[in-house]
Amino acid sequence: MLSLAATVLGLLEVVRVVAAADDPCTGATSATWVSSKIAHACELNVPFDKARSESVIDSVLKSLQYYSLETWFLDSPNPLIPHHVNVRALLEGVQKRTATVGYKTDWDFNLAITDAFNREADGHTLFVAICTEAFSWNLPFSIATLADSPFDLVAHPTFLVNYDFPNSGRAGLEDYYESIGVHVRPLDGARILKINGVEASTYLVNLATESSIYNGLVGSFETVNPRYMRLNSRYSADTVSGLFTQEVGRFGQRAFYPGADQVTLELQPAKGRPVTVTIPWAATFIRHGNSTQSFIEQTCLPPASQDASAARRRREEKRLATSVSSMNGKRKAVIAPDTPEKLRKQASDQRGFAGSGNTVQPTLKSFGHFITLDIYQLEQHPNVGVVYFEQFEPSDDTGFNEYFDGISNTLFSGLTALKAAGVKHVLLDISGNRGGFIFAGAISLWSLWPKDLYPGFPAVFRDSDLIRRQSAVAAQTENFNSEYLFEFYRDLEYNLLKNNSQFMDPPVPQVVNGVKDAYSKQFFDDFGEGSSSVTSFTEPPFSGQDFVIVSNGICASTCSIFSSYLYQKHGVRSAVFGGTPAAIISQFDGGIKGSEVTDYDSILFELETLGLQNDPAAPQPLPIQVSFSLNFRNAIPYIDKQNGILEYVYEPATKKYQFTVDQFNRPQKIWEFVADQFWGKK
Ligand SMILES: *[C@@H]1O[C@H](CO)[C@@H](O)[C@H](O)[C@H]1NC(C)=O
Ligand SMILES: *[C@@H]1O[C@H](CO)[C@@H](O)[C@H](O)[C@H]1NC(C)=O
């Protein structure tokens, strides 16, 4: 008997070991880098849960009433900015399938919802189940589309080994690829002729056009040029500490499973004959959990400690002090960064690269630096200054008041000092700016144009029956935690609203794309009594003609409000770099131009603070971990008003250039070039 017990115990051990070895999530999460095949097997190992999924899709559909672009994006009036998506119908399709045949795995269900929102190509609006982006998917190379001269119409996809990109978090990637016998360094700089058998430019343009979540790509940008640029490597400052970096780009780094485990390239190296190489995708785990069981507990489900009441407490903690400035610290228009936070933190810690090894970092005389803002005077064109607006929110833990003060003070001291140094013209580089605090954009606008009535665009909220009830309760109870309280807003003469009938109750009925819809009256945010409350400038430091926007088209949300305003109100010109290999025209701001984004938790918080959480139309807390945000307000343009919303105003570059081998990772060279193009040698 004894020996039998021992044998049974021994067998159990074996079973346990086999179970661990068989569990794809154990292997996928224990090593720093694993093959995409192993990582994806882990994702697919989470079973579909019908009851849970039904409750998710029910609330997702209810949350659509807050999505201010739903009916607008059914059919775009502007062929240059195509949106033809019925997101409600797509989600109802998911609901039907959930209730009937169901999905193969939990991953397939989650991706179906993500896919519906991703088709909107609206960077503010995306549903991401955390377990579908528990890994970061990477290649050892990036692509830059480069021309011989900035004036060339045609540019060529180029292979760039990305191990040494400054501040891009590639730790351990080279060792991994070397260990599996993939040696890419000798291929650096080769021209890419074909990708997966298709002519390279065509392949990339198709990828950008579709931006399919099933290829691991998030749409986020309105038109194909910025989506194409997002696939590419380009300069920006997107680390946590705001260091200049060379972005890996979405071709070489995806947030979702890239849909295949390898890429085959035909390359033309500088010398010799074309070569064909096949390079596998590598994945790195960026969440928690180490077996399928713990992956589900830690990544898919809300943490056990956060039961309904804890989650409610967490939302309560969002409650901010009751002041206008706190509401300004709440309102955001921003899209997700390309690189996941964990990798951006690692990148920021690798400060070694920030020194001489970093070709991206300008070597110009600084006239001010504050987290996301850099001010320089050019060397070869000393009458030209540069202000690089990297983002409109800090990625570190700087508080919003400190951040707002820093932006205002740095702009005032920097621009004043530039003028004293003889600077007559200023480049405003917004390349890669994802947006941020709406108020940070407003401070920047009022610093440049302190005599303007209002620094931004009029906006409207969507106004369903439930939302109207929310605004009515907010008014009756003077609830300063509600964004639907009329007291936070001003009319189009910039006078504070006096009652809710000037705002949301009654709503303004509209028919959008043939569908009955309703919005609030147009309003302005309350940014204080006037520009003197946010800037020391009393006169514009420069005139509209003295500014030129520099952009790669990747500018969204608050960045778009900022740059659209400069263009529409003050005729500021722009130089746009990059885009598809044959793009003749591009927008300087290719991202979402809606004026505010909200997250799902904030919607729940609003309902709770107003006591409407049990309303039959109210969405409910989701039984999964999710990052879910919606475009919350529409901005109303000053020009091309026939298009209705700012979203549909195409804002073309004054001049369009391609990146060259010499310039693409050296913003300083780009700036000297643009200064020369717009104001000549001096
Ligand atoms: C696996 O994860 C669980 C939960 O996070 C943890 O308690 C456990 O110690 C981990 N096991 C190993 C071998 O890392
Ligand atoms: C709301 O305020 C406006 C402006 O003072 C006023 O004209 C209007 O009559 C008020 N409406 C109600 C319903 O009180």
Residue 290 near ligand 1, beta carbon < 6 Å: yes
Answer yes or no: is pLDDT of 478 > 90. Answer: yes
If you average pLDDT over residues 154-161, what whole number do you get? 95
Average pLDDT of 285-312?
82
Tell me which residue of 230, 189, 162, 193 sits closest to 578, measured CA to CA.
230
The answer to pTM > 0.75 is yes
Cα dihedral across residues 352, 353, 359, 363: positive or negative: negative
Higher-pLDDT residue of 566, 330: 566
Q: How confident is the model at residue 225 (pLDDT cuts 50, 70, 90)?
A: very high
Kindly report the protein residue whose alpha carbon is nearest to atom 5 of ligand 1.
289
CATH of domain 334-346+360-456+530-595+643-679: 3.90.226.10
Q: E strand or H helix at 518, and its extent?
A: strand 515-519
Nearest ligand 2 atom, CA 502: 1
- The preferred substitution site among 502, 503, 505, 521 for testing ligand 2, maximizing ligand atoms within 8 Å of CB, is 502
498, 503, 523, best to mutate for ligand 2 pocket (most atoms within 8 Å of CB): 498
| Domain 2-46+136-285 shares a fold with domain 334-346+360-456+530-595+643-679 | no
Name, in order, each residue with C-beta under 8 angstroms of 162's C-beta and a sequence gap of 6 or more: 139, 140, 141, 142, 168, 170, 233, 246, 248, 252
Is the C-beta atom of 413 inside 6 A of ligand 1? no
Sorting pLDDT into bands at 50, 70 and 90, what band is 563? Answer: very high
> What's the CA-to-centroid distance between 485 and ligand 2, angstroms?
15
The end-to-end CA distance of the chain, in Å, is 97
Q: Which of 107, 129, 147, 123 is closest to 56 using CA atoms? A: 129
d(CA 63, CA 469): 15
Counting ligands in written order, which one lies closest to the CA of residue 290? 1
Residue with CA nearest ligand 1 atom 8 = 290
Q: Which ligand is nearest to the CA of 498?
A: 2
- The alpha carbon of 287 and the centre of ligand 1 are apart by a number of angstroms equal to 13
Q: Which of 15-29, 83-97, 367-381, 408-422 is the least confident region?
A: 15-29
Range in 11-25, 93-107, 422-436 the model is least confident about = 11-25
**Ligand 2 nearest-atom number relative to CA 499:** 1
pLDDT exceeds 70 at position 101: yes
Condensed to tens digits (0 to 9), the pLDDT of residues 49-86 reads: 999 999 999 999 999 999 999 999 999 999 999 999 99
Q: Is the pLDDT of residue 16 over 60?
A: no
**Which residue minimizes the CA distance to atom 9 of ligand 1?**
290
Residues 280-311 as b/e (b if ≥16 CB within 10 A, e otherwise) read bbbbbbbbebbbbeebbebbbbbeeeeeeeeb
Look at residue 429 and tell me whether its pLDDT is greater than 60.
yes
Residue 91 has pLDDT above 70, yes or no: yes
Rounded CA-CA distance 180/162 in Å is 17
Which residue type sits at 261? Answer: D
Ligand 1 centre and the CA of 295: distance in Å? 10
Q: Would you state the pLDDT for residue 345? A: 75
Rounded to the nearest angstrom, the distance between the alpha carbon of 489 and the centre of ligand 2 is 15
Q: What is residue 581's predicted lDDT score, i.e. its pLDDT?
A: 87
Over residues 444-456, mean pLDDT: 98
Amino acid identity of 240? V
Query: Can you say how many angstroms the Cα of residue 638 is from the centroid of all Cα atoms in its chain?
Result: 25
Q: Using the predicted structure, report yes or no on whether residue 352 has a pLDDT greater than 90.
A: no
How close is the Cα of 580 to the center of ligand 1, in Å? Answer: 46
Any ligand 1 atom below 6 A from CB of 294: yes
| Ligand 1 atom nearest 291 alpha carbon | 1
Ligand 1 atom nearest to 30, measured from its CA:
14
Which pairing describes strands 573-577 and 655-657: parallel, antiparallel, or unpaired? Answer: parallel
Average pLDDT over residues 446-468: 98
Name which residue sits closest to atom 10 of ligand 2, judged by CA.
499
Q: Which ligand is nearest to the CA of 293?
A: 1
Probe target for ligand 1 pocket from 294, 295, 298, 300, with the most ligand atoms within 8 Å of CB: 294
Cα of 317 vs centre of ligand 1, distance in Å, is 30
Report CA(522)–ligand 2 centroid distance (Å). Answer: 15
Percentage of residues in the chain having pLDDT higher than 90: 82
Compute the distance from residue 495 Cα to the ligand 2 centre, in Å. 13
Token pair, residue 220, equals: 């986020």
Q: Tell me, letter by letter, the H, E, C secondary structure of 231-242.
A: HCCCEECCCCCC
pLDDT digits (tens, 9 = 90+) for 247-296: 999 999 999 999 999 999 999 998 999 999 999 999 999 988 889 999 99
Q: Which of 99-103, 293-297, 336-340, 467-471 has the lowest mean pLDDT?
A: 336-340
Of the listed ligands, the closest to the CA of 491 is 2
Identify the nearest ligand to the CA of 506 by its number. Answer: 2
Tell me which amino acid residue 620 is.
Answer: Q
Both tokens of 186, joined, read 């000798």
In angstroms, what is the span from residue 299 Cα to ligand 1's centroid?
A: 13
pLDDT above 70 as % of the chain: 91
Q: Which ligand is nearest to the CA of 299?
A: 1
- In 261-340, beta strands by DSSP E: 262-268, 275-280, 282-285, 332-334
**Whether the CB of 293 sits within 6 Å of ligand 1:** no
CA of 499 to the centre of ligand 2 (A): 6
Q: Which ligand is nearest to the CA of 475?
A: 2
CATH of domain 2-46+136-285: 2.30.42.10
Which residue owns the Cα nearest ligand 1 atom 11? 290
Please report the DSSP string for 290-308 in residue order: SSHHHHIIIIISPPTT--H
* Smallest CA separation from ligand 1 atom 1, residue: 290
Ligand nearest to the CA of 472: 2
pLDDT above 90: residue 338: no
Residue type, 646: L
Average pLDDT, the chain: 92
289 alpha carbon – ligand 1 mean position (Å): 7
Q: For atom 5 of ligand 2, which residue has the closest CA?
A: 498
Q: Residue of the nearest CA to atom 13 in ligand 2? A: 501
CB count in 10 Å sphere of residue 314: 12
Residues flanking ligand 2, CB < 6 Å: 498-499, 501-502
Predicted confidence band at 168 (pLDDT cuts at 50, 70, 90)? confident
Q: Quick one: pLDDT band at residue 319, thresholds 50, 70, 90?
A: low
CA 431 to ligand 1 centroid distance, Å: 42
Which pLDDT score, from 0 to 100, does residue 318 have? 57
Q: Which ligand is nearest to the CA of 298?
A: 1
Separation of CA 290 and ligand 1 centre (Å): 6
Question: In this structure, what token pair is assigned to residue 601?
Answer: 């938790």
Query: How remote is the CA of residue 288 from the centroid of ligand 1, in Å?
Result: 9
Residue spans per domain, the chain: 2-46+136-285, 334-346+360-456+530-595+643-679
Query: In the structure, what pLDDT confidence band is assigned to residue 357 with cuts at 50, 70 and 90?
Result: low
Which ligand 1 atom is at minimum distance from the Cα of 298? 5
CA distance 488 to 471: 12
pLDDT band at 634 (very low <50, low <70, confident <90, very high): very high
